[in-house]
Structure 1
Amino acid sequence: MKPVILAEKPSQANAYADAFTTRKYEGYMEISPCPTFPKGAYLTWGVGHLVELKEPHAYNPSWKRWSLGSLPILPHRYEFQVAKGKFKQFSIVKRLIRSTDTVINACDVDREGSNIFYSIYYQTGARGQTIKRLWINSLEVDEVRKGFENLRDNRKDLQLYEEAKARQISDWLVGMNGSRLYTLLMKKKGIQHVFPIGRVQLYPS
């Protein structure tokens, strides 16, 4: 099977493609057989966060209405969904990942890149594939080739993902609860504005 490479964004995928001979299709590229990929490979990408945490009303319809009585919003478990407007690209990524036995995480080398990769991977429903990590700090052609020839295992990457996921959920809790609390309390004082709190900010619908 051809391995599937997941980049974080189109510009990053294009930089990887410059190191190989490729054919471009909608939402992905095909890398021709070469010393690095004897059978060739598929190269696809996210568009930032293809997958995000669900909004409160997805857990409980009563949480759609802003009220002090509904606080704090604390789901029993946290669920993810495909981000609005990004289902088409997600479907392409999902099809490619589920059709291979090897997936290469080629997102940014940091917690956020790890989070983006694994949130997409788990949302596809794929399980059991071998996951490798591209670990480079330069998009120069020679460095890209060298990086793909020396892929790492995903143990460290999983640790980064767990850290990023914990922060993502914490941000969600602060944003969803804090924004509502401050806004509703200020409304009682006659101030009719939304007061977004934290990195995750929610506005009344």
Structure 2
Amino acid sequence: MGKTLIIAEKPSVAADIVKALPGKFTKSKTHFEGGDYIVSYAVGHLVSIGFPEEIDPKFQKWTLDNLPILPEEFPLSVLPNTKTQYNALSKLIRRKDVDTIVNGCDAGREGELIFKYILKHAYTRSVAGKSIRRLWLQSMTLNSIQTGLQNLRENEEMQTLEDTALCRSEADWLIGINATRALTCYNSRHGGFRKTPCGRVQTPTLSLLVKREAERRAFVPSDYWELHADFHCEGAVYQGIWIDTDFKKDPDNPHANKKRIWEEKQAVAIAEKCLGKEAAVEETHKDSSQTPPQLYDLTTLQREANSRFGFSAKNTLGLAQALYERHKLITYPRTDSRCLPEDYSESVHNVLKRQQGWQYGEFAAEALSKGYLKKNQKNKRLFNNKKISDHFAIIPTSGLPGTLSEPELKIYQMIVQRFLAILFPAAIFHNTRRVSIVEQETFLTEGKILVEPGWKAVYGSKPGAGDAKTLVALP
């Protein structure tokens, strides 16, 4: 029986995999080697699609005459900055004593592409008979890596993911190469070389920004007025805002709403008519509930981190990646799912038990003592196999943090709070709507008080929170 070669996406991950394997390993410049295993690594992308001139020398010249460039097969080339590591990997892949090659790159589309491009470029007849397997990790804890190694996936299972990765890569190349050359040739038609980059993602994104900026510049400010009134009733004081009860949305004036008055004379006239007059008051009450938000996927984590802390999307991804790889505190962050597998309740229970020893321990303890996990067992917003693609939602692992930087701690706190919150009951509010009619003019007062915090307790909300000023009871 030969050796198994595991190729990770980066050196730090390779080192973690080695810790999860049995036996002693010798470390060299490019890989770790033990009795049964060799663990090496890429350094991100080592191989990519080559340039058009590598297909045919005639494409060296940028001209509209040879567009579009639609190769039957896309040429692969080794990136010059990482050629040394690629050469080391290709030798390991071709070694006669290696009979199994395991893709240990990140468990996602990009990790699949990195590995398959390396394998394809290094492929020879000596590689043809070797078994290809997939190591699929949801988190970087030692237990998770060991479980992954015991449950390697067959290469055939990964075919659809490989096809998706190749499709994305080739689409980027086709649009980037052809559109960039076409636009550059057009813009350079009067002389010179005016390079005009165009990309599958960057150009539509730029278009969104340009359109939004055009709307901003075309916006014409308009003055409007609002009427705010103070109402007094035997010592009780509350405020109301004038509303137009006959208001209907106008497609030609999207900025109009029932609280805005567009003519100063009308605002003054209403104020003078109502000043010092008695009001007839009608009041309605209604309870409402607010369910907890779903777990984070990468996009919602990035959006909320930007809103709360001003972190850029790139910065949030880097922090989440560090929490996943270096600290091993969260599950795989590059996910588009906000649910967990339906058989994951035991793992959630273990994480809850561990979280009792950290900052939000009282809420983890409450979730356990009151059986919130069991009550959520059939909650499809939480456990739903149909809403999971390659990875499930971002949640904490069973590890607890040691030393984290301030930004890392903020992201970790967000993930832990969201994990705990979704297990808690809905928040219950008491809503009040008070209408005060003065001389046939209507003033609206609305307020909301938190009666039962439910999941909002995890975020520090307490019963009675709300806009108390608008909710003064009338005699």
Normalised by the size of structure 2, how large is the TM-score? 0.39
Code of the residue aligned with 2:93 in structure 1: it is: I
CA distance in 1, matches of 2:62, 2:192: 15
How far apart, CA to CA, are the structure 2 residues paired with 1:52 and 1:152?
25
Q: After TM superposition, give the deviation of residue 192 of structure 1 in Å.
A: 5.3
AA partner of residue 72 (structure 1): P
Give the equivalent residue in structure 2 for 1:60.
56
Could you tell me how far apart the structure 1 residues matched to 2:198 and 2:52 are?
16
Query: What is the CA deviation profile of residues 43-64 of structure 1, one whole-angstrom value per residue up to 9, with x for unaligned ones?
Result: 0111111111110001111211
Aligned length: 194
One of 101, 104, 128 as aligned partner of 1:103: 101
CA change 1:151–1:76 in 2 (3 A) is: closer
Bigger Cα displacement from structure 2, 12-21 vs 147-156: 12-21
- Give the structure 1 partner of residue 4 of structure 2: 3
- Calculate percent identity across the aligned residue pairs: 35
Residues 133, 153 of structure 1: 8 Å contact kept: yes
User: Taking structure 1 as the reference length, what is the TM-score of the superposition?
Assistant: 0.86
Q: Distance in 2 between matches of 1:115 and 1:68?
A: 31
Is 2:92 aligned against 1:92? no
Instruction: Describe how 1:1-205 pairs up with structure 2 within 5 A.
Output: 1-20=2-21, 21-31=24-34, 39-99=35-95, 100-125=98-123, 126-188=127-189, 193-198=194-199
d(CA) in 2 for partners of 1:157, 1:146: 18
- Give secondary structure in 1 for the equivalent of 2:188: helix
1:148 & 1:199 partners in 2: Cα distance? 36
- Cα distance, 1:12–1:189 mapped onto 2, change above 3 Å: farther
Deviation at 1:196, TM superposition (A): 1.0
Deviations 1:110-168 (A, max 9, x none): 11111111111121112221111111111111211121122121222122111211221
Q: Could you tell me which residue of structure 2 aligns to residue 36 of structure 1?
A: none
**1: distance between equivalents of 2:12 and 2:184?**
39
Preserved CA contact (<8 Å) 1:4 1:97: yes
1:104 is paired with a residue whose SS is: strand
Letter in 2 for 1:42: I
Between the aligned partners of 2:76 and 2:59, the Cα distance in structure 1 is 17
Q: Which moved more, 1:121-130 or 1:171-180?
A: 121-130
Q: Which residue is equivalent to 1:34?
A: none
Distance 1:156 1:191 in 2: 51
Instruction: Tell me, yes or no, if the aligned pair for 2:10 and 2:42 is still in contact at 8 Å.
Output: yes
Q: Deviations over 1:161-204 (max 9, x none)?
A: 11211221111010001011112212236785322111599xxx
1:10 and 1:158 map into 2 onto residues whose CA distance is 26
Provide the rounded CA distance (Å) in 2 between the counterparts of 1:77 and 1:135.
29
Q: Which whole-Å CA distance do the structure 2 matches of 1:114 and 1:77 have between them?
A: 19
8 Å CA contact retained: 2:54, 2:75: no
User: Which sections of structure 2, spanning at least 5 residues, go unmatched?
Assistant: 203-475
Write the distance in 1 (CA, Å) between the matches of 2:147 and 2:25: 18
Distance in 2 of aligned mates of 1:5 and 1:146: 15
The residue type equivalent to 2:108 in the other structure is D
- Quick check: which has more Rg, 1 or 2? 2
What secondary structure, in the 3-state scheme, does the structure 2 residue paired with 1:135 have? Answer: coil
Whole-Å separation in 1 of the counterparts to 2:47 and 2:94: 17
Write the deviation string for residues 16-51 of structure 1: whole angstroms up to 9, x where unpaired.
2333453210111124xxxxxxx4310011111111
Q: Match of 1:43, as an amino acid?
A: V
User: Could you tell me which residue of structure 1 aligns to residue 374 of structure 2?
Assistant: none
User: Could you list the runs of 5+ residues in structure 1 that have no partner in the other structure?
Assistant: 32-38
Amino acid at match of 1:111: R
In 2, the alpha carbon distance for the partners of 1:156 and 1:149 equals 16
Superposed displacement of residue 85, structure 1: 2.5
